[in-house]
Chains A and B, each alone.
Chain A
Amino acid sequence: DGGITQSPKYLFRKEGQNVTLSCEQNLNHDAMYWYRQDPGQGLRLIYYSQIVNDFQKGDIAEGYSVSREKKESFPLTVTSAQKNPTAFYLCASTKGQGNTEAFFGQGTRLTVV
Chain B
Amino acid sequence: SQQGEEDPQALSIQEGENATMNCSYKTSINNLQWYRQNSGRGLVHLILIRSNEREKHSGRLRVTLDTSKKSSSLLITASRAADTASYFCATASGAQKLVFGQGTRLTINP
Contact = CB atoms under 8 A, between A and B. Distances in A.
Interface SS of chain A: strand
Interface string A70-113: 00000000000000000010101010011111111111010000
Contacts of B41: 106-107
Contacts of B92: 97-100
B3 to A, nearest CB: 10
Nearest to B29: A99
B45 A103 contact: yes
Given A31-B96, A41-B102, A42-B100, 9 more contacts: A6-B42, A40-B105, A41-B103, A42-B103, A43-B43, A92-B98, A102-B98, A104-B43, A106-B42
Interface of A: 6, 31, 33, 35, 40-45, 48, 50, 58-59, 88, 90, 92, 94, 97-107, 109
